[in-house]
Structure formats: C-alpha cells, structure tokens
Chain A
Amino acid sequence: MPLSSAIRSVLLGIVLVVAGLWIGQNIKLLPVDASTNAPVYDELFRVLFSIGAILFLGITGLVVFSLIKFRRKPGDTSDGIALEGNLSLEILWTAIPAIVVLFVGIYSYDIYDRMGGMLPLDHGGHNHQNMASEERIWGGISSGSIEKSGMVVNAPLPVEVTAMQFAFIFHYPKGDITSGELHVPTGQPISMRLESRDVIHAFWVPEFRLKQDVIPGQPTILSFTATKPGRYPIICAELCGPYHGGMRSAVIVDSPKAYEEWFKNNAKTPVSEL
C-alpha cells in the first residue's frame, strides 16, 4: 500500500512536470520578436512559464483534491489527524523552492548578460562633450548578443530621443534629421540618448521587449538592434499626464537598403530648433 502510493505520487509528479514543460514550450503569449534580445527574452519567458505552470497546477491540484477528498461527510463530527508538522517534509519544501529560485536567479542573470545588460558601455557614437560626467549610462541591451551571433558589428548609430508631454522626437545627429517616428535599419546597433523635457516618460517597444524610463535631468543611454522589418508601436509606459494614453509613436524597421533610401531623402533637412 505505501509503496503503490509512493509510486503513484512519483508518477503524478512526472506527469505534472511534463505537462508544465509542454505548456511552457508551446504557449504563445508574446508579440513578434523583432530585436536581437527578444528571442533571448522569449527563452526566459518559456522557462519561467514552465516552472510557474508546474507550481500552479501542482498546488491548485492539491487544494482541489483535498477539498474533495477530505471534505466533511454529513453527520461526521470527528477531527482530522493530529499532525502538527513533519520536519523532513518542511526541510524538503524549503530546499526545493530555494534551489528553484537560485536556478531562476542565476539563469536570468545569464539572460541579462546575453542581452548585454552587464556590458560596460562605450558609446562611440555619442558626442562625448554631451555626456557630462553625471550622465547616467545603462543598458547596452542587445549589444552583447550580436557579437555572439556572428553578425557583422557596425558602429552604433546614434539617435537622440526627446520625450515631452505628449510626444517623442527623434533626432539623428548624422544627417541632422528630426522625425516624429523612429527609423532604423535591421542588424545595426542603435544607441539612443534619451532625455525628457518635463516629467518622467518611458520608451517601450513591446516587439523589442525593451523599456527604459525617460527621466528629466538624467539623460540615459539605451541601445538595441532590430532584426525584423516592420512597423512597431512606441508606447509611453509611465503615467505622464492626461494624454498619457495617447503618447505613442512608431518605430519603422527597414532593410538597410530601404533605410539608406529614407536617410538620403531626409538628410540635411532644415535644422530644427531642437
């Protein structure tokens, strides 16, 4: 009897893990992946989803099972078993979550590193006089994985992004282009310098899995590399006033040729007062 019930629990556990892994691998909840770090993000998402599915199904299953199996039958006034604890069980369910969490932490560190989050940034593209010493530099997301993926690394293309209530303005120092929409070529690292004129905004492109607050008084560097041509929304994600919901723009990812075309047609437009 105890043996068969042990076997049954092990079998159930295996079914649960397989089911969780299967769900995690097959679930489609994310938009297209259009930057170098998006597939890396999606890998992390699948792992987290699998672990989450196993835990959720397991605990929900146990609760529902207990409610059905151990429900009080009419007329039954007896008590349950007087079980106050079980040290080895309690150690087990301290150790297992600790190991899982440790694994998740280390794994997500690795993901972060692969996205280029840990790279010391050297933004050749930016004018160093602009980068006063108090300038906040972080990000580099995406710059790491290109090298590993063996693509040719071009020098990053600098873009200056100004956020204000309730719009984004993009300025290309090279060619002096000012635009309300962001145009970038595929496969080319973009290095953006974000600054806000008034309140905090956030630059978010869901298809790039990339978000950065745009902070007044603290210019911030963010880099990424787009991979799939298309038109994706740029969304302000930080409450910034009444028209926050309408503060949207778009990033147009072109093939390098099409981008070159756009660049030639727009370069040297009259200098705006930006």
Chain B
Amino acid sequence: MTLASSPDLSKESEPLQPKGWLRYFSFSVDHKVIGLQYLICGFIFYLIGGALASAIRIELTSPISDFMPRDVYNQVLTLHGTIMIFLWIVPVVNGAFGNYLIPFYVGARDMAFPRLNAVAFWLIPPAGLMLISSYFITGAAESGWTAYPPLSINTPAAGQIIWILSVLLLGGSSIFGGINFIATILKLRRPGLGLMQLPMYCWAMLGTSILVVLSTPVLAGTLILLSFDIVAHTGFFNPVMGGNVIVYQHLFWFYSHPAVYIMVLPAFGLVSEILPVHCRKPLFGYTTMVYSIMAIVVLGLVVWAHHMFTSGTPPWMRLFFTIATSFIAVPTGIKFFNWVATLWGGRISLNSAILFSCGFIINFVLGGITGVALAQVPFDIHVHDTYFVVAHFHYIVYGGSVFVIFSSIYHWYPKFTGRMLNENLGRLHFLLTFVGFNLCFAPQHWLGLNGMPRRVAEYDPQFTFVNQLSSAGALLMAISTLPFLWNVFQSAFNGPIAGDNPWKALTPEWLTSSPPPVENWEGPAPLVKEPYGYGETPETLEVALDKDLELGGDEK
C-alpha cells in the first residue's frame, strides 16, 4: 500500500471525493472525514442502544414481566449490550477520535492505509443494520452479548447466526483499524518527533491497538466455531456432542476482558489531552503514564478468568486470576493520581469538557473499587451475575468511557466544525447526565448484594422501589441527551466562530484552521516536541502559539 504521507496519492484521489456534506456519505479516504463518520454513526447507534435501555428500565419498573414478552426482553438486552459495546463505544473511542487525531499527533497528512481505513469504517453500518434488522425479520439473538453455549446453540438459530456475522464484521473492522493505528504511530511520525514526545492519546491508541490485534482474532475464531455448532451441528461447545462449554468461556473472555480496556484505554488517553489544556498545566507524570498504559496492556491479557470464578475453575486458577486482576489497580491508580496532580494548582476553566472529565474520574474510581472487590474470588462468588456486576461495568463503561466521549465532543467540536458549543447548555447536560447516571446505577450495587440477578425481566417484589429509583435515573439520562442534541445542531449553524485555537492548546491539531484543510496543514506539519508545555515561560508559549495571545504569565 502507498503511504498517505506521500503527496501523490491524496492528490490523485482527491478529485474523486465529493465536496461539502456529501463527503460524509462517501468512501472518503480523508482521516478527518472518516473520524467524523465513525462519530456520527456511533452516536446514532448510541441513541438506538439507549432506546433499548429505556425499554429494559420500563420493564423493570414492576416486578412482573408485563411490558414485553420474555423472549423479546432477552433479545432487547442482547441487542442493547452488543450495540453499546461494538457499535458505539469501541468505534467511537478508537475509530472516531483515533482517526481524527492520530495523524495530527504524529505529524502526518493521513493514516498509513487510507483505503483500508475507509473499508474499516464502511463495514460498520451494514453490520449494525444487519444486527438490528434481525430483530424485525428473524428475531434477534437472545443469549446475551456473551452468547454462552449451550444457550446460544439452543435458541433460535437465525438470530444467533446474524449476531455472529455482524460481530465478525465489526471485529474485522476493529482489527483493520488497529493495524492502521499501529502503523501510523510507529511509521508515519514526522522526522524529528520522538516516541516519548507524542501526546498521550497516541500511547493509549498504540496500547489499545496491540490489544485489538492480539485478542480480536481469538473472538473471531471462537464465534466461527460456535456458528459451526449451530449450523453444522459440530460439537466444539455442545455438551450433547461431547463439547466443552467452559472452553468457550475461556476463549470468549480472552478477547472480552481486553475488550474492556479497548473501550477504556483510549478514553484515558483523551482525558490526558483534555485536562492539561483546560487546567493550563503540563500533564503530570508523562513517563509513568506511558509505562502504566503498557503495564495495563500486558496485565489485561492475563486476567480473563475473573469472569469465570463460578464456572467450576480450579482453586489455583482462581487465585492466579485474583492476584493478576488486583494488580491492574496499580497502573490504573497511577493514572488517576497523575490526573488529580494535573488538576492541582491549575487554572481550571469549569467548562463542560472539564466537568465531564472530572465526572469520569469520580465515576471510574468507584467502578475501579468495585472491580478490585470483584477480583477477590470469595467476594465475587456472591455477586457474580447480579446487578452488582451490572453497576460495576456501567460505572466503568458509561461513567468512564461515555463521559469521556462527551468531554471530548465539547473539547474538539470547535475543531470539527469551526464553531463553539454553548457552554451553559453543556453544563446543564453534564448536571443531568451525572445525576441521572448515579441515580440509575448506584442503587444497583445494593440490588446485586441483596439478591437480584442480572438479565431478568421479573424479580422479587421487595426490590420494586429501588428498581423504580434506578429507572427514574435512566429517565433523567434520556432527558439529558436533549440539551446536548439541541446544542450540537444549533451551534453548527449559529455557534460563535471558534477560530483556529480557541482553547490556546499546544497539540498539533490546534495549530491549523478549524476545520482543518484536507491535508491537515497548509505548509509543513509543525513539530511539537512538548505537547503539554503549559505553564512554561511566556516566551516558549508565544513561539508555540500565535502572537495574538495575551499571557498573564505570572509563574510561581
């Protein structure tokens, strides 16, 4: 493949690309277009997944199964999980922001393999449509996003097969993206730019992409075997044919634990970009941040069996996975302390981006604490497969990754569109989301501890009130998207003009126009050796930024 940085390719393909908004519906090879395609496509799936979540929470306002038939309920929860993971969080924290930002950060004009990049994106809409339409045509899969056999072999085959096909497509898309990120970060760096000078998001994406490339093929292989069991009646995982159901769980979680880091490591990277800009301080502890990302990548590959503590695993295995899982808390903790230290002593603008980032820190700390508790075998045996686990991973995935996605949209929207978002609406969005989220998920810890299993449409009536609280929180979360959507739409036309660099940031995507030109910069790519050089002497700042800055510059 030709490298994108060689000017002839983009010159030659550029005339083929439509101009204006039509670009976003085309097979564009511009990384910025692809990034926004991922973001918008992901957000549409988020709205669909959110509607499914609302259906679940409505069903759970009463202890009996009355809102929808029981098999439909299982289809809804399967679709909800699959959509949120594979069509919203993974594509957005990786594909959307990765494609938009990584070429800027390494000083390149595009990704290493632009066409592969477009292919990776265009696998997603058909996969998503296939998955969702299966609900209307054949009935969707109903064995949960984990698709444990033998349930996934015994349930109606058509929906399950379509589920497998679409997850395979999405996995393929994710692998293509991962290869592209690794190649871009390692091979397309602008001359003179060292690895340890890269913005932290590059490191996060490098680590994530390594996980993607190592673990996603295992999921693909596993699902192919599962589909053989379903259509060809082989016996890999079918106990009736002498298969072993536990082997499936090992293979599945060998991918799916790393998958949780695929959803959250890029978010860590994004927060590391956002905090220094709005705190006007360097990112604290760059080097330890890099090492902790790599430690998380390595440890993340050897903790999968913590999802299987009640599956009849032998004691030695339980102990090993308890210890390995617990130790992930150490590198993760380092990152959190570093972020708090970044806040400390800053000049923090209390804008929507910072609020969502700080909301992320608080939510994720709670999710991390329950995570370490869940890693302890004796603790987990009671709460595994209960609402406690549901609360844990929503604190991580929603309270963590989704909060960061919103923070990032507030932060980069001016770059994407050239216009500012309305900050007051943004703060209202934060308030509603933060309150709604905690009201929805905090009570679920109690539900799990006291005897409510997950994935049920009916439950012990003693849990009614707490479930209604949780549903009220979900309602608030649904309402919270309204100010956001309004803000995003009307600011696109009426928002104040942002200018090149409204946040006075130092990373390279801000050192160009908003939105940036096709090849990212007019003239040569800037060499940014200190992406977090805030709070330095006023002279260095002035060189790095434009002269029109007034720097108070009173350093300690």
Q: Which of B305-335 contact A (CB under 8 A)?
A: 310-315, 318-319, 322-323, 326-327, 329-330, 333-334
- Of the listed residues B69, B312, B344, B535, the one surrounded by the most CB atoms of chain A closer than 10 A to its CB is B312
What CA separation (Å) do A76 and B347 show in the bound complex? 8
Is B502 on the interface with A (CB-CB < 8 A)? Answer: no
Query: Contact: B70 with A242, CB < 8 Å?
Result: yes
Option from B280, B347, B382 in Cβ contact (under 8 Å) with A211 = B382
Residues of A within 8 A of B213 (CB): none
Option from A80, A85, A115, A239 in Cβ contact (under 8 Å) with B280 = A80
Query: Contact: B343 with A82, CB < 8 Å?
Result: no
Query: Contact: A202 with B382, CB < 8 Å?
Result: no
What CA separation (Å) do A56 and B336 show in the bound complex? 12
1/0 per position for A147-169, CB-CB distance to B under 8 A? Answer: 00000000000000000000000
Option from A85, A98, A117 in Cβ contact (under 8 Å) with B330 = A98
- Of the listed residues A52, A108, A204, A215, the one surrounded by the most CB atoms of chain B closer than 10 A to its CB is A108
Is B51 on the interface with A (CB-CB < 8 A)? Answer: no
Residues of B within 8 A of A255 (CB): none
Residues of A within 8 A of B458 (CB): 245-246
1/0 per position for A215-232, CB-CB distance to B under 8 A? Answer: 111101000000000000
Given contacts A108-B376, A235-B451, contact A220 B312 (CB under 8 A): yes
Smallest CB separation, A30 vs chain B (Å): 6
Residues of A within 8 A of B243 (CB): 217
Residues of A within 8 A of B280 (CB): 72, 78-80
Q: Which of A94-131 contact B (CB under 8 A)?
A: 94, 97-98, 101, 104-105, 108-109, 111-112, 115, 117-118
Is A7 on the interface with B (CB-CB < 8 A)? Answer: no
Is A63 on the interface with B (CB-CB < 8 A)? Answer: yes
Q: Which of A197-211 contact B (CB under 8 A)?
A: 198-200, 202, 204, 206, 209-211
Is A243 on the interface with B (CB-CB < 8 A)? Answer: yes
Smallest CB separation, B235 vs chain A (Å): 10
Q: Which of B356-403 contact A (CB under 8 A)?
A: 358, 361-362, 365-366, 369-370, 372-373, 376-379, 381-382, 384-386
Option from B143, B382, B457, B551 in Cβ contact (under 8 Å) with A79 = B551
Query: Contact: B377 with A112, CB < 8 Å?
Result: yes
Residues of B within 8 A of A240 (CB): 151
Query: Contact: A93 with B385, CB < 8 Å?
Result: no
Smallest CB separation, A67 vs chain B (Å): 6
Smallest CB separation, B432 vs chain A (Å): 18
Option from B245, B330, B344, B386 in Cβ contact (under 8 Å) with A215 = B245
Residues of A within 8 A of B327 (CB): 98, 101
Query: Contact: A213 with B449, CB < 8 Å?
Result: no
Nearest-CB residue, chain B, relative to A30 = B449
Query: Contact: B350 with A67, CB < 8 Å?
Result: yes
Option from B244, B312, B349, B370 in Cβ contact (under 8 Å) with A138 = B312
Is B158 on the interface with A (CB-CB < 8 A)? Answer: no
Query: Contact: B373 with A52, CB < 8 Å?
Result: yes
Query: Contact: B347 with A218, CB < 8 Å?
Result: no
Residues of B within 8 A of A210 (CB): 381-382
Is B288 on the interface with A (CB-CB < 8 A)? Answer: yes
Is A256 on the interface with B (CB-CB < 8 A)? Answer: no
Is A60 on the interface with B (CB-CB < 8 A)? Answer: yes
Query: Contact: A117 with B315, CB < 8 Å?
Result: yes
Option from B365, B366, B372 in Cβ contact (under 8 Å) with A104 = B372
Query: Contact: B451 with A215, CB < 8 Å?
Result: no
Query: Contact: B382 with A237, CB < 8 Å?
Result: no
Residues of B within 8 A of A39 (CB): none
Residues of B within 8 A of A63 (CB): 340, 343, 358, 361-362
Residues of A within 8 A of B245 (CB): 200, 215-218
Residues of A within 8 A of B318 (CB): 112, 117
Smallest CB separation, B185 vs chain A (Å): 22
Residues of A within 8 A of B70 (CB): 242-243, 245
Residues of A within 8 A of B382 (CB): 41, 206, 209-211
Nearest-CB residue, chain A, relative to B144 = A239
Query: Contact: B287 with A85, CB < 8 Å?
Result: yes
Residues of B within 8 A of A81 (CB): 281, 345-346, 535, 555-556
What CA separation (Å) do A81 and B284 show in the bound complex? 11
What CA separation (Å) do A110 and B268 show in the bound complex? 34
Option from B286, B312, B378 in Cβ contact (under 8 Å) with A115 = B378
Smallest CB separation, A60 vs chain B (Å): 5
Nearest-CB residue, chain B, relative to A233 = B451
Is B456 on the interface with A (CB-CB < 8 A)? Answer: yes
Tally inter-chain residue pairs, CB-CB below 8 A: 292
What CA separation (Å) do A243 and B142 show in the bound complex? 12
Is B135 on the interface with A (CB-CB < 8 A)? Answer: no
Interface residues on A, range: 35 or more
Given contacts A41-B378, A60-B362, A84-B532, contact A89 B341 (CB under 8 A): yes
Residues of B within 8 A of A213 (CB): 310-312
Residues of A within 8 A of B281 (CB): 79-83
1/0 per position for A229-272, CB-CB distance to B under 8 A? Answer: 00001011111111111100000000000000000000000000
Option from A31, A48, A101 in Cβ contact (under 8 Å) with B450 = A31
Is B337 on the interface with A (CB-CB < 8 A)? Answer: yes
Is B23 on the interface with A (CB-CB < 8 A)? Answer: no
Query: Contact: A71 with B343, CB < 8 Å?
Result: no
Is B258 on the interface with A (CB-CB < 8 A)? Answer: no
Is B459 on the interface with A (CB-CB < 8 A)? Answer: yes
- Of the listed residues B322, B326, B445, B553, the one surrounded by the most CB atoms of chain A closer than 10 A to its CB is B326
Given contacts A111-B378, A237-B385, A245-B65, contact A62 B340 (CB under 8 A): yes
Query: Contact: A138 with B314, CB < 8 Å?
Result: yes
Residues of A within 8 A of B535 (CB): 79-83
Is A90 on the interface with B (CB-CB < 8 A)? Answer: yes
Option from A76, A136, A236 in Cβ contact (under 8 Å) with B552 = A76
Is B154 on the interface with A (CB-CB < 8 A)? Answer: yes
What CA separation (Å) do A79 and B536 show in the bound complex? 8
Residues of B within 8 A of A37 (CB): 378
Option from B73, B154, B337, B552 in Cβ contact (under 8 Å) with A199 = B154
Residues of B within 8 A of A237 (CB): 310, 384-386, 453-454
Option from B329, B348, B550 in Cβ contact (under 8 Å) with A97 = B329
Give me 9 other A-B pairs in contact (C-beta within 8 A), A76-B552, A78-B347, A115-B378 excluded.
A66-B340, A101-B329, A108-B378, A200-B148, A206-B382, A206-B449, A213-B311, A237-B384, A241-B155
19 chain-A/chain-B pairs, Cβ below 8 angstroms: A29-B445, A41-B379, A44-B378, A52-B373, A59-B361, A62-B340, A63-B361, A66-B346, A70-B343, A80-B346, A81-B535, A90-B337, A97-B330, A101-B330, A108-B376, A108-B379, A117-B378, A217-B245, A239-B143
Residue numbers of B with Cβ under 8 A of A are 65, 69-71, 73-74, 142-144, 148, 150-151, 154-155, 239-240, 242-246, 279-288, 310-315, 318-319, 322-323, 326-327, 329-330, 333-334, 336-338, 340-341, 343-350, 354, 358, 361-362, 365-366, 369-370, 372-373, 376-379, 381-382, 384-386, 445-446, 449-451, 453-460, 532-536, 541, 550-556
List 9 A-B pairs, minimum CB-CB distance, nearest first: A217-B239, A78-B552, A245-B456, A82-B535, A80-B281, A206-B451, A80-B346, A242-B70, A108-B376
